[in-house]
Amino acid sequence: MSQAPVNAASDADPAAREQASYRARLSSDLEDFLGRQREVLLEVSEESVPLLSAVHALAQGGKRLRALLNYWGWRGAGGEAHGLAPVRAGVALELFQSAALIHDDIIDRSDTRRGAPSVHRHFSNRHAEAAWFLDGTHFGSSAAILAGDLCLSLSEEAFTSVGARAGYDTRARAVFNRMRTEVMAGQYLDILEEVVGPGHEPERAVVRARNILRYKSAKYSIEHPLAIGGALAGASEELLASYSEFSLPLGEAFQLRDDVLGVFGDPALTGKPAGDDLREGKRTVLIAYALSSGSAAARQEITAALGRPDLDDDAVASLRGVIADSGALATTEALIAEHTEQAFNTLAKLAVDETTRSALGSLAHAAVTRTA
Amino acid sequence: MSQAPVNAASDADPAAREQASYRARLSSDLEDFLGRQREVLLEVSEESVPLLSAVHALAQGGKRLRALLNYWGWRGAGGEAHGLAPVRAGVALELFQSAALIHDDIIDRSDTRRGAPSVHRHFSNRHAEAAWFLDGTHFGSSAAILAGDLCLSLSEEAFTSVGARAGYDTRARAVFNRMRTEVMAGQYLDILEEVVGPGHEPERAVVRARNILRYKSAKYSIEHPLAIGGALAGASEELLASYSEFSLPLGEAFQLRDDVLGVFGDPALTGKPAGDDLREGKRTVLIAYALSSGSAAARQEITAALGRPDLDDDAVASLRGVIADSGALATTEALIAEHTEQAFNTLAKLAVDETTRSALGSLAHAAVTRTA
**Helix extents (H) in chain B:** 14-44, 49-59, 65-76, 85-107, 119-129, 136-160, 171-196, 205-213, 224-232, 237-264, 267-270, 276-280, 285-293, 296-305, 313-325, 328-349, 354-369
DSSP helix/strand/coil, A1: coil
Task: Determine the residue of chain B that is closest to A208 in CA distance.
Answer: B45
Q: Does B109 fall in a domain? A: yes
What whole-number distance in Å separates Cα of residue A234 and Cα of residue B283?
52
The answer to whether residue B129 neighbours chain A at the CB level (below 8 Å) is no
Look at A184 and B146 and tell me if their CB atoms are within 8 Å: yes
Which candidate from A132, A139, A195 shows the least CB-CB separation from B139? A195
Look at B194 and A134 and tell me if their CB atoms are within 8 Å: yes
Q: From the CA of A60, how many Å to the nearest CA of chain B?
A: 20
Q: For residue A214, give the DSSP letter.
A: I
DSSP helix/strand/coil, A112: strand
pLDDT in tens, A62-86: 999 999 999 999 999 999 999 999 9
What whole-number distance in Å separates Cα of residue B259 and Cα of residue B250?
14
**Helix extents (H) in A45-84:** 49-59, 65-76
Give the total number of structural domains in chain A.
Answer: 1
Which candidate from B157, B164, B191 shows the least CB-CB separation from A143? B191
What whole-number distance in Å separates Cα of residue B208 and Cα of residue B206?
5
Say what the ipTM of the complex is.
Answer: 0.95
Q: What's the distance, Cα to Cα, between the start and end of chain A in Å?
A: 14
- Residue B331: name the closest of B366, B291, B278, B282 by CA: B291
What whole-number distance in Å separates Cα of residue A306 and Cα of residue A288?
12
Which candidate from B130, B143, B178 shows the least CB-CB separation from A188? B143
Look at A37 and B192 and tell me if their CB atoms are within 8 Å: no
Which candidate from A149, A182, A192 shows the least CB-CB separation from B184? A149
Contact call for residues A183 and A155 (beta carbons, < 8 A): no
| β-pair partners for A116 | A113
Question: Residue B280: its pLDDT value, please?
Answer: 87
What does DSSP say about strands A112-113 and B112-113: parallel, antiparallel, or unpaired? unpaired
pLDDT in tens, B257-277: 999 999 999 888 877 778 889
Look at B44 and A211 and tell me if their CB atoms are within 8 Å: yes
Mutate to test the interface with A, among B48, B180, B200, B213 (most CBs of A within 10 A): B48
What whole-number distance in Å separates Cα of residue B64 and Cα of residue A306?
46
**Percent of chain B that is helix, strand, coil (3-state, to 5):** 75, 0, 25
Q: pLDDT averaged over consecutive 10-residue blocks of chain A (372 residues)?
A: 47 89 98 98 97 97 96 98 97 98 95 92 97 94 98 98 98 98 97 85 90 96 98 98 98 96 89 84 93 91 90 94 96 97 98 98 94 80
List Cβ neighbours of A155 (8 Å cut-off, separation of 6 or more): A92, A93, A95, A96, A98, A99
Q: Does B5 fall in a domain? A: no
Mutate to test the interface with B, among A180, A195, A306 (most CBs of B within 10 A): A195
- Residue B281: name the closest of B313, B312, B305, B249 by CA: B305
A74-78, A290-294, B82-86, B140-144: range with lowest mean pLDDT? A290-294
Q: Residue A133: exposed, middle, or buried by beta-carbon count in 10 A (0-12, 13-18, 19+)? A: middle
Give kind and range of the element (H or E) at residue B267: helix B267-270
Question: Residue A10: its pLDDT value, please?
Answer: 53
Cβ-based contacts under 8 A for chains A and B:
188
pLDDT confidence bin for B8, thresholds 50/70/90: very low
Contact call for residues B218 and B285 (beta carbons, < 8 A): no
Strand residue runs (E) in B114-216: 116-117
Which candidate from B41, B142, B164 shows the least CB-CB separation from A185? B41
What whole-number distance in Å separates Cα of residue A296 and Cα of residue A279?
21
Please give the residue that has the higher pLDDT: either B120 or A274: B120
The answer to whether residue A224 neighbours chain B at the CB level (below 8 Å) is no
Cα-to-chain-centroid distance, residue B17: 25
| Gyration radius from chain B CA atoms | 21
What does DSSP say about strands A116-117 and A112-113: parallel, antiparallel, or unpaired? antiparallel
What whole-number distance in Å separates Cα of residue B122 and Cα of residue A221?
30
Question: Residue A197: its pLDDT value, please?
Answer: 77
Contact call for residues A232 and A165 (beta carbons, < 8 A): yes
Q: From the CA of A191, how many Å to the nearest CA of chain B?
A: 7
Give kind and range of the element (H or E) at residue B112: strand B112-113
Q: What are phi and psi of A134, to 5 degrees?
A: 60, -160
Q: Does B64 fall in a domain? A: yes
Q: CB atoms < 10 A from the CB of B221, how many?
A: 27
Q: For residue A116, give the DSSP letter.
A: E
CATH of residue A28: 1.10.600.10
What whole-number distance in Å separates Cα of residue B349 and Cα of residue B72?
16
Task: Determine the residue of chain A that is closest to B134 in CA distance.
Answer: A195
Domain range enclosing B75:
14-369
Q: From the CA of A150, how many Å to the nearest CA of chain B?
A: 6
Residue A281: list chain B partners with CB under 8 A: 134
Q: Does B89 fall in a domain? A: yes
Residues 19-38 of A with CB under 8 A from B: 37
Task: Determine the residue of chain A that is closest to B198 in CA distance.
Answer: A133
What whole-number distance in Å separates Cα of residue A292 and Cα of residue A278?
17
Residue A128: list chain B partners with CB under 8 A: none
The answer to whether residue A181 neighbours chain B at the CB level (below 8 Å) is yes
Q: Is the pLDDT of residue B99 over 90?
A: yes
- CA A239, A240, A245: angle at the middle one, nearest 5? 95
What whole-number distance in Å separates Cα of residue A176 and Cα of residue A189?
20
Residue B169: list chain A partners with CB under 8 A: 163
The answer to whether residue B192 neighbours chain A at the CB level (below 8 Å) is yes
Question: Residue A271: its pLDDT value, please?
Answer: 74
Q: Does B8 fall in a domain? A: no
What whole-number distance in Å separates Cα of residue A79 and Cα of residue B251?
47
What whole-number distance in Å separates Cα of residue B72 and Cα of residue B23?
12
Amino acid at A122: H
Look at A180 and B153 and tell me if their CB atoms are within 8 Å: yes
What whole-number distance in Å separates Cα of residue B344 and Cα of residue A173?
42
Handedness of CA A330, A332, A334, A336 (dihedral sign): negative
Contact call for residues A355 and A75 (beta carbons, < 8 A): yes
What whole-number distance in Å separates Cα of residue A336 and Cα of residue A342?
10
List Cβ neighbours of A166 (8 Å cut-off, separation of 6 or more): A85, A89, A159, A160, A172, A173, A176, A232, B168
Q: Does A8 fall in a domain? A: no
Look at A188 and B148 and tell me if their CB atoms are within 8 Å: no
What whole-number distance in Å separates Cα of residue B149 and Cα of residue A103?
9
Residues 232-291 of A with CB under 8 A from B: 281
Q: Does B1 fall in a domain? A: no
Which candidate from A41, A107, A281 shows the least CB-CB separation from B142? A107
How large a percentage of chain B has pLDDT more than 70?
A: 97
| β-pair partners for A112 | A117
Handedness of CA A106, A108, A109, A110 (dihedral sign): negative
Contact call for residues A183 and A216 (beta carbons, < 8 A): yes
pLDDT in tens, B150-190: 999 999 999 999 999 999 999 999 999 999 999 999 999 99
The whole-chain average pLDDT of chain B stands at: 94
Residue A191: list chain B partners with CB under 8 A: 139, 142-143, 146
Task: Determine the residue of chain A that is closest to B108 in CA distance.
Answer: A142
What whole-number distance in Å separates Cα of residue B180 and Cα of residue B320?
34
What whole-number distance in Å separates Cα of residue B244 and Cα of residue B222?
9
DSSP helix/strand/coil, A63: coil
pLDDT in tens, B327-336: 999 999 999 9
Residues 49-68 of A with CB under 8 A from B: 50-51
Q: Buried b / exposed e across A18-45, counting CB within 10 Å, b at 16+?
A: bbeebbebbbebbeebbeebeeebeebb
Residue B185: list chain A partners with CB under 8 A: 40-41, 44-45, 48, 51, 150
Please give the residue that has the higher pLDDT: either B198 or A38: A38
Q: Does A9 fall in a domain? A: no
Question: Residue B197: its pLDDT value, please?
Answer: 78
- Residue B93: name the closest of B124, B69, B72 by CA: B69
Residue B150: list chain A partners with CB under 8 A: 180-181, 184-185
